[in-house]
Structure 1
Amino acid sequence: MPVTYTAHNPGSAIAVFPALVGLYAVVYAEPPYNEGPEQVVGFANGLPAETQRPGFTLVAADDAGGLVGAAYGWTMPAGRWWTRADTEPPAHVRNADKFAVMEWVVHPDRRGEGIGAELMRRLLDGRSEPWATLASNPAAPARAIYQRAGWQQVGGSAMPDGTPMHLLLLPLSAAPVQRC
């Protein structure tokens, strides 16, 4: 089925949230996440606050059957980094605005079609921040996809439940040439 991509600002994203919560429930029920209803409710309850972050943008991928993928994030301002990070990023990264990718999900039945890559391309295209960053579970299959797409690990972290995470960084077109 053909896929339509739509970028959303905080006002228009709210209409996507019910479908996004449903997609989140499907994706995060899979191993290694194994999330259940409690985590899904927590995700749903946190979405309105996410739209209040500076630079919030959501890109949705729909086909005739509904939402098949989505990615969203917001600007992490200069001087800020991931709260539970075990190391600091290089100074030139910390001292710059970064685009923090908070979710990047594709329905399991639609993976391998390039939907995820197109979501990320559209989400990051034209961003003013020189870097994009995200946290990834190292046990998730997506972690290898991020590495192939050029994301570099710059540290680690842990979720409140203790799940280890890799903190990844991707230079965007405005990024300085320095390597991490």
Structure 2
Amino acid sequence: MNTAQVSLHRHTTYTPQVRDVIGQLYAEVRADLLNHPNYRLEVFLERLDRHGTEPGWTAVLAHAPDGAPVGYAYANSIAPGDRWWKRLNIPAPRTFTNRDALAVKEIGLIPAWRGIGLSRQIHDALLAGRAEPHTTLMVNPAAGDGKVMRLYQGWGYKEIGVVQPSPESPWLVCMGRLLYV
């Protein structure tokens, strides 16, 4: 498998069909975590439904040559005073909070499609053409024994602070970077 075999589809409208595909992928991507209160499918779908109504919502779905979905990412715009920034353990740098930013809320690939650069391809397609000057995301520093956070660092993200988005959530590292590096 290689990324040339994959087709990417951008969605700027949150529809039941997009919700179903992302939900199915999420269940496979997070199969080992679905018993954790923060990662239960129904909890994720509640977050997805909320995010899908927020300004600037965009998703990118990746499909294998046979048409089967294999990965996804979605994001939305966040304003300077958004709760995203207010929940950090330290004030976020003004370079991130003085204008709207793009918040990458989720990136996921089914296991068979990991390790070939597809997550970066989906991520870059998600960011393409956005007007926000910065992008941000949150990552569990323990994910993949730190591999996921190191991956984001390799994409130019730097740590901004830490946050626990909900009482059930693990502590996450909030990272950010210029939208185009």
TM-score by length of 1: 0.86
What root-mean-square deviation, in Å, do the aligned CA atoms of Structure 1 and Structure 2 show? Answer: 1.9
SS at match of 2:143: coil
Report how many residues are paired. 170
Q: Which amino acid aligns with 1:59?
A: V
Q: CA separation in 2, counterparts of 1:118 and 1:92?
A: 26
Query: Between the two proteins, what is the percent identity of the paired residues?
Result: 31
Change (3 A) 1:81 1:37: closer
Matched, 1:124 2:127: yes
Q: Which amino acid aligns with 1:146?
A: Y
Q: CA separation in 1, counterparts of 2:35 and 2:21?
A: 17
Q: Which amino acid aligns with 2:135?
A: A
Name the residue aligned to 1:178.
none
Name the residue aligned to 2:160.
154
Matched, 1:7 2:20: no
Matched, 1:35 2:34: yes
Q: Which amino acid aligns with 1:154?
A: I
The alpha carbon displacement at 1:37 in A equals 8.5
Q: CA separation in 2, counterparts of 1:76 and 1:111?
A: 29
Q: Which amino acid aligns with 1:56?
A: W
Name the residue aligned to 1:168.
175
The alpha carbon displacement at 1:110 in A equals 0.5
Name the residue aligned to 1:137.
140
Runs of 4+, deviation exceeding 6 Å: none
1:123-152 Cα deviation digits (max 9, x unpaired): 001111011001100001311111111110
Q: Which amino acid aligns with 1:153?
A: E
Q: CA separation in 2, counterparts of 1:72 and 1:118?
A: 13
SS at match of 1:24: helix
The alpha carbon displacement at 1:16 in A equals 2.1
* 2:117 maps to which of 114, 125, 133: 114
Kept in 2, the 8 Å contact 1:135–1:167? The answer is yes
Change (3 A) 1:60 1:42: same
1:47-99 Cα deviation digits (max 9, x unpaired): 23222110000000011151101000100012335242101111221111110
Change (3 A) 1:95 1:28: same
Unaligned runs of 5+ in 1: 176-180
Change (3 A) 1:87 1:37: closer
Unaligned runs of 5+ in 2: none
Aligned counterparts, 1:54-133, within 5 A: 54-63=55-64, 64=66, 66-82=68-84, 83-133=86-136
